[in-house]
Amino acid sequence: MDRSYWQKQTANQPLYPDLLWSRPENRAHAGKLLVVGGHAQGFNRPAEAFARAEQAGAGTVRVLLPDVLQKTLGRAFVGAEFGPSTPSGSFAGNTLGELIPLAAWADGILMAGDLGRNSETAILLEKFIDMHVGQITLTCDAVDYVVATPYPILQRDNTLLVLSFAQLQKLGVAIKYSNAFTFTMDLLHLIDALYELTKRYKMAIITKHLDTYVLAVDGKVVTSKAATAMPVWRLRVAAEASVWWMQNPSRSLESLATGVYQALPRPAVT
């Protein structure tokens, strides 16, 4: 079978080294990222995403959290903004009033998770995704919200899902995709299935198969083989990918592949 749509990179050999050497030197030109997440019982994921995005080279990073966390955090979280909370401590529907102007400020948005499970938050995300036309990256439990009602994202431009294989499987079931994602499928069958999926639908996907990270964009696939294990990977990859993508918006495949490459653990030097 002809797999000319498939390219490979490793932790030692990036596919697009030109991007690595042509980054903005001035942080004022390195892009503005908005991180969204958190609920009353947790904000670790948005906090980690904030830190990783800064490490990845974002020019400015701001984070939107439910205002139930405002007393807990005080002024300790530099760059934090707060939106209205539900009684259970998740984002309320009227957070849209804060989210829209922040999204207009940002070059990219990372929905980092720790959102809790709340129907009002689900409606908020659905409305926002429908209204906003810019880059949105979703990962961790933010993906669960869109997998439950996936049709708004299927044909949305500027959408990246960084998701576990289990979440990918649920997405396939939700959209009644003809190529079932199974835990027994090998890497080649996964590559073929994601090639077909992203030819049909507009969203980009990053997932993991054993020690290989698989990116699919517009019917093109890049695999990145890790030299060492990265058990907790989604947020790390999502932060890197969203930063590189917002800095290179006209080169989605190249920038997302470079983000995955940058997130890979480097092999030990002997």
Q: Each residue of 84-143: pLDDT tens digit?
A: 999 999 999 999 999 999 999 999 999 999 998 899 999 999 999 999 999 999 999 999
CA-to-CA distance for 114 and 108, rounded, in angstroms?
A: 19
Extended strands (E) in 97-219: 108-113, 135-139, 159-162, 204-209, 212-217
The rounded distance, in Å, linking the Cα atoms of 251 and 105 is: 21
Token representation of residue 191:
């590559």
Phi, psi at 113, each rounded to 5°: 105, -160
pTM higher than 0.85, yes or no?
A: yes
pLDDT above 90 covers a percentage of the chain that reads 81
Give the C-alpha separation, 79 to 75, whole Å: 9
The pLDDT, as a whole number, for residue 215 is 99
Ordered by where they begin, the domains of the chain are 6-259 (3.40.1190.20)
Q: Does pLDDT of 237 surpass 90?
A: yes
Residue 63, beta-bridge partner list? 35, 80
